[in-house]
Amino acid sequence: MKYGHFDDDNREYVITNPATPFPWINYLGNEDFFSLISNTAGGYSFYKDAKFRRLNRYRYNNVPMDDGGRYFYIKDGDSVWNPGWKPSKTELDKYECRHGMNYTKIKGEKNGISAEVLFFVPLNTWAEIQKVTLTNTSNEAKKFKFFSYNEWALWNAASDMENFQRNFNTGEVEVEDSVIYHKTEYRERRNHFAYYSVNTEIDGFDTDRETFVGLYNSHEKPQVVLAGQPENSMAHGWSPIASHYIEVELNPGEAKDLIFVLGYVENQEDDKWESKGVINKTKAKEVIAKFNTTAKVEVAFEELRAYWDDILNVFTLESGDDRLDRQVNIWNQYQCMITFNFSRSASYFESGIGRGMGFRDSNQDLLGFVHQAPDRARQRVIDIASTQFPDGGCYHQYQPLTKRGNDEVGGGFNDDPMWLILGVTSYIKESGDYTILDEMVPFDNDESLSQTMFNHLTISFNHVINNLGPNKLPLIGRADWNDCLNLNCFSKDPNESFQTTENNSEGSKAESLMIAGLFVYYGRDYIELCKVLNKNEEATRAQKEVDAMVNAIKENGWDGEWFLRAYDFYGNKIGSKENEEGKIFIESNGWCTMASIGAEEGMCEKALDSVKERLDTKYGIVLNNPAYTKYHIEMGEISTYPPGYKENAGIFCHNNPWIMIGETELGRGDIAYDYYTKIAPAFIEDIQELHKTEPYVYSQMIAGKDAFKPGEAKNSWLTGTAAWNYAAITQHILGIRPALQGLLIDPCIPTKWDGFKVKRKFRGYTLNIEVQNPNHVSKGVREITIDGTKIEGNLIPVLTEGKEYDVIVTLG
Ligand code: GLC
Ligand code: GLC
C-alpha cells in the first residue's frame, strides 16, 4: 500500500492518506526559528534550541501517537473536523499533505468546505506563518465556526514535562486585539515571550487548556469546540494555550484567507515593559504587520522558494533515472541541510532535550552541506573547533544556544579529532578559502587559549599518534564512531549510560581499526594541505606517521579475509574469524578500503568480498555478523541491543556509503551502485508500508536480517546517513569531487550506463559536465575537454569566476 508519491516539479512529497505507518514529518525554518510538522500538523516550534526555547508542548511517545501541534477545528453544524484529519479524525472527503522545501501544505475538504493551510517560516523571521485558505466549494452559502489551537510549552522542554509542582503555578498570558501572548516567567529571568495572532477580528478566544479541552476530554473532542462557543478564558497557572475563535460566512465559490503568526520575541532588559505588568509588544506587532495580508505572505513564500532554488542549483544531475535525480537534486540535499541545522537534537525520535550538537556528527554533516552555504559551514566548523581540548581531545557534544561543550558527556571519544580535519578540509575544498586556517580559535571555549585553526588540525592529527596502543593502533577511548562499542566502560549498573559510565581507558589495550583507517584517510588530506601551504617538513613528518599506521594495520589489523574491528581492553580481537559472534564488522572494512590499505596485496578486494558475502542483505548492509545474542559486558552497549537492531547487526545506513566508496576505489561501480539503491529512499518507495518512516528521507537504521521485521526503519531524518550518501553518490559514484586545487572528475558508475550530465556551480563559476561512457566501463577517465580543449589528467583546475564552461568527460 502506498500513502503518497513524489512531485518532482514542485519538489514535494504528496501524502494522500493521513494514516501513514508513522507520522511523516517535515522541517520549517532554516536559521534561528524552527518547527517540526507532521502530515497531520502535529509537532512544535522552537527558537534555536529545542530544549531551552520550546514554544509549544508536544507529547513524545504518546497515545495516540503524535499529540500536540497547531490544530484548526472547523465546526460545521454537528460535524467537527480538522484540515489535517487529526486530532478529531473525522473522515474527510479529500485530504492532501504536501511536504516541500521548508514548507508544508495541508488540505482537507468536507461537506463543501475546503481548508488549506500553508505552513512556513519566512527567511530571517522568528515566526511560523500559517496561511489558512477557506473555500466554499458548494452551491449554497456556508456559515461555520473556526477555532485555532496551540498549547504553550513553558520554555524548558525538559522541566516542562516533569516539574509540575512548579509549572502548574507559573503560566501567564495576555490577550490584546486578536493576539494571544504567552509570557510565562517573563516577570523574572526571561527576556522573551511568544505570541499567536490572526489578521482578522476574532469573536472570542481561550487561553486555559482545561476550559478549552475539558479535564477529561482529549484534543480529539475539545469541549469548547463541541459546544461551538468560546469561554474567553484567561490562564492563571496550569496549562496555558492559545485558541482564536472566528465565525466564518462564505458564499458559494467564495474563498477567504486567515493568516496566523506564531512568533517569538526577545526584549532588552530595560525595554521589557510597556507599563506595570504589561509586556512591550512592539516587536511582535512589527512582525504581525509584516505578514498581515495574503500578498505579503505570498512574497515571503516566493522568497523562500527562491532561496531553495539557489541552494539546489549548485549541483544538478540528469541521469535519465527519475529516482536517482530526485535523490541527488532534491531530497538528499534537503536532508543534508536539515541535519546541518539540527545535528541530532529534534526529530520524532530525538526528543530535543537529549543531545545537543555532536562534534563528530556536525563535522560529518558538513560533507553534505558545505556546497549549499559555505559561509554557514565556516562558522559552524569554527564553533565546533572551539570546543576542542588543548590536547586535541574534544567535547563530544555542545549546546547550540551557548555553543559550549556539554560537561555531562565530556570527551574521550577518540575518533572525534580526526573529523575536524574532514570538516575543515571539506570547507576549503569547496570554497577555496584558506583564510579559515588563520582564524584564531579557542580551546575549551576559552579565548585565552586560542590558536590558529591550522594548529587545531595539527593537534587533532597528533592526538591519534599520541594515543596508540600495544599494536601501534589508535586507542579507542570511550568509543569511536560506533557509540556502542564501549571497550573501556564495563557498566553493571542499569541506571548508567554506557557512554558516560566509569572509563577504564587508563591501562587499557583497547584499540580501533576504524580510527586507524580514518587516520590514514584524513591524514592524507592533512598532508596534502601541508604541501599546498608549503609546510613541507610537517608534510614529511605526517607522511611518516601515516605510513607507520598503514603498516600497523597490515601487520596487526588484518584477519586473513577482512580487517579486524578492534582489540578489547585485554588485547583480545574483535571482529575476527576467531570470535564466535561479531566475526566481521562494517566500519573498519569501510575505512581501510576507502584508504586503499593493502590494495596491492589484495586485502581490499578480499575485505569487500567478505562484506558482500557476510553483511549484505536485501535491505542494505548490516553492521556486523553474526549478531550478538548474548550480553558481553566487556563490549559495552553493543550487545545490549537485540540481534538485528541498531549497532548490533542492524543496517546502520550511515556506514553503508563507506563500503560504497571502498567499492569505487576498487573500480567496482556495479556493486557500489547496487548498495546505493538498496537504501536510497526514492528507490524503496514501494515498500513504504514495511519501511514505516518517511519515504523521502533516510533513516538512521533499518532492521537487519536477524531482526523480527527485517526492512523496517527507525530514526528518520537526523543521521549522518544523509551527508555520507550524498558524498558517496556525488563525489565517488558520479565522481565529481571538490579538491584543494580544483574539481576532480573520477566517476565509478554501473557499466550499463551510457553516461550522465551534471551542472555544478563551483567557486563562482559554472561547469556543464557531460560524462560519456561509450565503452561501458565503470571507471577510468580517458579524456576531458573544457570548451573543446583537452586537459591533462582529470583535475579541472580553478577557472574564472562568473564564467560558464562545457566539460566533456569520456570514460574508458
Ligand atoms: C548515532 C550517533 C553517531 C554515532 C552513530 C553510531 O548516529 O549520532 O555519533 O556515530 O550513532 O553509533
Ligand atoms: C547513538 C547510537 C545509540 C546509542 C547512542 C548513545 O545514537 O546509535 O545506539 O545509544 O548513540 O548516545
Three-state SS for 546?
helix
Nearest CA to ligand 2 atom 11: 483
Quick check: 216 and 222 in contact, CB under 8 A? no
pLDDT in tens, 297-342: 999 999 999 999 999 999 999 999 999 999 999 999 999 999 999 8
CA distances, 551 to each of 225, 461, 516, 613 (Å): 73, 17, 11, 26
Closest ligand 1 atom to residue 654 Cα is: 7
Give the other-Cβ count within 10 Å of 650's Cβ.
29
Q: Which ligand is nearest to the CA of 640?
A: 2
Q: Is 406 in the pocket of ligand 2 (CB under 6 A)?
A: no
- 376: which 3 cell numbers? 554557514
Quick check: 384 and 402 in contact, CB under 8 A? no
pLDDT in tens, 41-72: 999 999 999 999 999 999 999 999 999 999 99
Secondary element (H or E) of residue 105: strand 103-110
Q: Which ligand is nearest to the CA of 499?
A: 2
Q: What is the pairing mode between strands 71-76 and 79-81?
A: antiparallel
Active site residue 483: yes
Three-state SS for 320?
coil
Average confidence (pLDDT) per 10 residues, the chain, 812 residues? 96 98 97 96 96 96 95 98 98 98 98 98 98 98 98 97 97 98 97 98 98 97 98 98 98 98 97 97 98 98 98 98 98 97 92 88 97 96 96 90 83 96 98 98 96 98 98 97 94 83 86 98 98 98 98 98 97 98 98 98 98 98 98 94 98 98 98 98 97 98 98 98 98 98 98 98 98 98 98 98 98 96
Length of the chain measured in residues:
812
- Please tell me the distance between residue 484's alpha carbon and the centre of ligand 2 in angstroms: 6
SS3 of 286-311: HHHHHCCCHHHHHHHHHHHHHHHHHH
Three-state SS for 685?
helix
Q: Is 361 in the pocket of ligand 1 (CB under 6 A)?
A: yes
Q: Which ligand is nearest to the CA of 354?
A: 2
Q: Which ligand is nearest to the CA of 639?
A: 2
Whole-prediction pTM:
0.97
CA distance 260 to 130: 5
CA distance 699 to 329: 18
CA distance 788 to 771: 14
- Please tell me the distance between residue 390's alpha carbon and the centre of ligand 2 in angstroms: 26
Closest ligand 1 atom to residue 361 Cα is: 9
Q: Is 699 in the pocket of ligand 1 (CB under 6 A)?
A: no
- 583: which 3 cell numbers? 566475526
Q: Is 431 in the pocket of ligand 1 (CB under 6 A)?
A: no
Beta-bridge mates of residue 358: 397
Catalytic residue among 483, 559, 706, 746: 483
pLDDT at res. 737: 98
Phi, psi at 752, each rounded to 5°: -75, -10
Quick check: 638 and 647 in contact, CB under 8 A? yes
Secondary element (H or E) of residue 451: strand 446-452
Q: Is 482 in the pocket of ligand 1 (CB under 6 A)?
A: yes
Q: Is 117 exposed, middle or buried (0-12, 13-18, 19+ CB in 10 A)?
A: buried
- Please tell me the distance between residue 619's alpha carbon and the centre of ligand 1 in angstroms: 20
Unique residue bearing C-alpha cell 581492553: 569
Closest ligand 1 atom to residue 482 Cα is: 12
Query: Helical H runs in 414-486?
Result: 416-431, 453-465
Unique residue bearing C-alpha cell 498581515: 292
Quick check: 721 and 50 in contact, CB under 8 A? no
CA distance 225 to 220: 10
Amino acid making up residue 524 = R
Three-state SS for 146?
strand
505: which residues sit within 8 A by CB, 6+ positions away?
Answer: 412, 475, 477, 478, 488
Q: Give the angle subtended at the CA of 118 by the CAs of 279 and 714, to the nearest 5°.
A: 100
Q: Is 647 in the pocket of ligand 2 (CB under 6 A)?
A: yes
Unique residue bearing C-alpha cell 531530497: 331
Q: What is the pairing mode between strands 765-772 and 804-811?
A: parallel
- 184: which 3 cell numbers? 510565562
Tell me the longest C-alpha to C-alpha distance in the chain.
84
Unique residue bearing C-alpha cell 533516510: 698
Q: Is the peptide bond before 797 cis (omega within 30 degrees of 0)?
A: no
Q: Within 13 Å of residue 580, how many CA atoms lie on the same side as its CB?
A: 5
User: Of 503, 439, 516, 512, which Cα lies nearest the Cα of 482?
Assistant: 512
- Please tell me the distance between residue 649's alpha carbon and the centre of ligand 1 in angstroms: 14
Quick check: 401 and 346 in contact, CB under 8 A? no
pLDDT at res. 706: 97
CA distance 25 to 152: 20
Nearest CA to ligand 1 atom 9: 361
- Please tell me the distance between residue 580's alpha carbon and the centre of ligand 1 in angstroms: 25
Closest ligand 2 atom to residue 646 Cα is: 9
Nearest CA to ligand 2 atom 1: 483
pLDDT in tens, 476-520: 999 999 999 999 988 788 888 887 777 888 889 999 999 999 999
Please choose from 349, 359, 481 the residue to mutate so as to test ligand 1's pocket, defined by most ligand atoms within 8 A of CB.
481
Quick check: 63 and 87 in contact, CB under 8 A? no
Q: Which ligand is nearest to the CA of 365?
A: 1
Phi, psi at 127, each rounded to 5°: -160, 150
Unique residue bearing C-alpha cell 600497523: 552
- Please tell me the distance between residue 79's alpha carbon and the centre of ligand 1 in angstroms: 47
Please choose from 361, 364, 591, 658 the residue to mutate so as to test ligand 1's pocket, defined by most ligand atoms within 8 A of CB.
361
CA distance 101 to 335: 10
CA distances, 574 to each of 290, 342, 443, 564 (Å): 61, 34, 34, 6
Q: Within 13 Å of residue 533, how many CA atoms lie on the same side as its CB?
A: 21
- Please tell me the distance between residue 481's alpha carbon and the centre of ligand 1 in angstroms: 6
Q: Give the angle subtended at the CA of 97 by the CAs of 205 and 331, to the nearest 5°.
A: 125
Quick check: 324 and 10 in contact, CB under 8 A? no
Q: Is 636 in the pocket of ligand 1 (CB under 6 A)?
A: no
CA distance 506 to 488: 9
Q: Which ligand is nearest to the CA of 653?
A: 1
pLDDT at res. 790: 98
Quick check: 23 and 65 in contact, CB under 8 A? yes
CA distance 341 to 366: 10
pLDDT at res. 410: 87
CA distances, 758 to each of 198, 428, 569, 744 (Å): 45, 22, 49, 13
Q: Is 483 in the pocket of ligand 2 (CB under 6 A)?
A: yes
CA distance 49 to 171: 21
What is the strand order of the sheet 573-574 is part of?
511-512, 566-567, 573-574
535: which residues sit within 8 A by CB, 6+ positions away?
Answer: none
Please choose from 497, 641, 646 the residue to mutate so as to test ligand 2's pocket, defined by most ligand atoms within 8 A of CB.
646
Quick check: 624 and 575 in contact, CB under 8 A? yes
pLDDT at res. 496: 84
CA distance 243 to 207: 6
pLDDT in tens, 6-47: 999 999 999 999 999 999 999 999 889 999 999 999 999 999
Secondary element (H or E) of residue 610: helix 603-614
Unique residue bearing C-alpha cell 537534486: 329
CA distances, 458 to each of 103, 391, 425, 535, 743 (Å): 42, 11, 13, 12, 25
- 248: which 3 cell numbers? 466564518
Closest ligand 2 atom to residue 355 Cα is: 12
- Please tell me the distance between residue 415's alpha carbon and the centre of ligand 2 in angstroms: 15
Nearest CA to ligand 1 atom 7: 719
Q: Is 381 in the pocket of ligand 1 (CB under 6 A)?
A: no
